[in-house]
């Protein structure tokens, strides 16, 4: 490419220099990037999901088997976070559907694969005589999100024979600044301090004394020592520890939750705590319920002579209205007035 020679610059006159200075003062300078207002980011790191529902029913068994999926489709997210979230959702679905051989990446194909496997293996055996239809339900939820944290949950509820259904739930909390899943070790560098606070909240919620043994109340902590759960989530209410069914107690107690309030976490973590949520996990924080409305004010009735005298002194004096006297006519009978 030929290089273009610059045009010769004419010698500026004093008037030209004055006009040039005025143009610079009035905005004639070269355009620059517009500064963003304070507290405004160049791009939002908020995510947006859409619910996806899939249902598959067996067609070759006398007794029914059903698979239901309530998953999430990620529509909007920071570019570095999007593939991580999508990979996690796919991993959860494959785990919940036990889809280990399919080359497809579509949840609907995994559900169909699992359904066909059950029809091959179970239709002619247990499923034919099952008094209750078998089913498996998978649910992914946008559990919590604020400016820094994104929390997703995934639950599998299955009834495939036996006395009752099985239930498993998992959580993942992403740091949207580092794009890494949060660990309890990163959240609380001193695990013993977090363990102590969590145990105190566990006992407080279940009205257990500090010295009461776990086994006496039906909890299965190894060697009688409280431990933290592997499943946890940051929420607008605090740190939620989630123990799945059968993890530390009998099935009748169901999943067990321990919520450590935000105020109790400030001294335990160097990381910022959750702030105003974009997506909420709870309708309200269990430990911050609104106070009951004040009771209406009522004037107590005097109960003894002393209070009666006090009330009489403080009560405003009002002159009684004169009662008009009626003089009966001679010989007329007087009829007493009825009691009010």
Q: Which of 3-12, 27-36, 303-312 has the highest mean predicted lDDT (pLDDT)? A: 303-312
Helix residue spans in 264-304 (DSSP H): none
Instruction: Say if residues 67 and 56 touch (Cβ distance below 8 Å).
Output: yes
| Nearest residue to 89 (alpha-carbon basis) of 143, 29, 10 | 143
Query: How much is the CA Rg of the chain, to the nearest whole Å?
Result: 37
Look at residue 296 in the predicted model and tell me its pLDDT: 56
Look at residue 60 in the predicted model and tell me its pLDDT: 66
Domain 46-179 has CATH 3.90.226.10: no
Q: Which pairs count as long-range contacts for 83-90, CB under 8 Å and 24+ apart, including other chains?
A: 84/174, 84/179, 85/47, 85/150, 85/152, 85/174, 88/152, 88/172, 89/140, 89/152, 89/154
φ and ψ of 221, to 5 deg? -80, 130
Report the C-alpha gap between 235 and 144 in whole angstroms: 6
Report the C-alpha gap between 200 and 285 in whole angstroms: 18
Q: Where are the domains of the chain?
A: 46-179, 183-281
Q: pLDDT digits over 220-263, tens only?
A: 999 999 999 999 999 999 999 999 999 999 999 999 999 999 99
| Nearest residue to 268 (alpha-carbon basis) of 186, 331, 336 | 186
Overall pTM surpassing 0.75 (yes/no): no
For 13-118, list the strands marked E by DSSP: 48-57, 65-76
Q: pLDDT digits over 133-146, tens only?
A: 788 899 999 999 99
Q: Are strands 48-57 and 256-261 parallel, antiparallel or unpaired?
A: unpaired
Q: How many CA atoms lie within 13 A of 267 on its CB side?
A: 7
pLDDT class for 285, splitting at 50, 70, 90? confident
Query: Does 101 have pLDDT greater than 90?
Result: no
Burial of 291 (0-12, 13-18, 19+ CB in 10 A): exposed
Q: Which residues contact 98 (CB under 8 A, 6 or more apart)?
A: 114, 117
Instruction: Return the bridge partners of 155, or none.
Output: 139, 169
The answer to whether 46-179 and 183-281 have equal CATH topology is: no
Report the C-alpha gap between 7 and 225 in whole angstroms: 85
Lowest mean pLDDT among 33-47, 85-99, 154-168: 33-47
Q: pLDDT digits over 22-36, tens only?
A: 444 444 443 333 333
Task: For the domain covering 183-281, report its CATH number.
Answer: 3.90.640.20
Q: Report which of residues 199 and 336 the model is more confident about.
A: 199
Token representation of residue 214: 């776990």
**Residue that the structure tokens 């009748």 belong to:** 252
């Amino acid at each position: 490419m030929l290089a273009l020679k610059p045009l010769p610059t004419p010698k500026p006159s004093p008037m030209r220099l004055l006009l040039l200075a005025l143009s610079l003062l009035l905005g004639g300078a070269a355009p620059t990037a517009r500064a963003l207002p304070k507290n405004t980011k160049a791009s939002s790191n908020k995510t947006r999901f859409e619910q996806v529902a899939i249902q598959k029913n067996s067609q070759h068994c006398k007794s029914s088997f059903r698979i239901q999926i309530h998953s999430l489709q990620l529509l909007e997210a920071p570019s570095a976070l999007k593939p991580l979230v999508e990979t996690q959702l796919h991993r959860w679905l494959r785990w919940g559907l036990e889809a280990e051989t399919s080359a497809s990446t579509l949840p609907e194909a995994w559900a169909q694969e699992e359904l066909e496997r059950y029809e091959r293996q179970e239709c002619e055996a247990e499923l034919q005589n099952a008094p209750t239809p078998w089913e498996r339900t998978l649910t992914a939820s946008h559990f919590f999100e604020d400016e820094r944290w994104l929390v997703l949950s995934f639950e599998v509820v299955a009834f495939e024979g036996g006395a009752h259904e099985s239930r498993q739930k998992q959580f993942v909390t992403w740091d949207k600044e580092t794009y890494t899943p949060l660990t309890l070790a990163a959240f609380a560098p001193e695990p013993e301090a977090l363990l102590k606070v969590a145990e105190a909240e566990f006992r407080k919620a279940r009205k257990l004394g500090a010295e009461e043994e776990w086994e006496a109340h039906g909890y299965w902590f190894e060697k009688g020592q409280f431990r933290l759960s592997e499943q946890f989530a940051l929420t607008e209410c605090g740190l939620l520890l989630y123990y799945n069914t059968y993890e530390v107690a009998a099935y009748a107690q169901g999943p067990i939750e321990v919520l450590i309030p935000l105020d109790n976490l400030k001294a335990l973590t160097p990381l910022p705590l959750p702030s105003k949520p974009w997506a909420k996990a709870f309708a309200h924080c269990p430990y911050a319920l609104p106070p009951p409305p004040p009771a209406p004010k009522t004037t107590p009735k005097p109960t003894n002579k002393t209070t009666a005298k006090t009330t009489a002194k403080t009560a405003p004096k009002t002159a009684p209205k004169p009662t008009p006297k009626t003089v009966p006519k001679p010989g007329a009978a007087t009829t007493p007035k009825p009691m009010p």
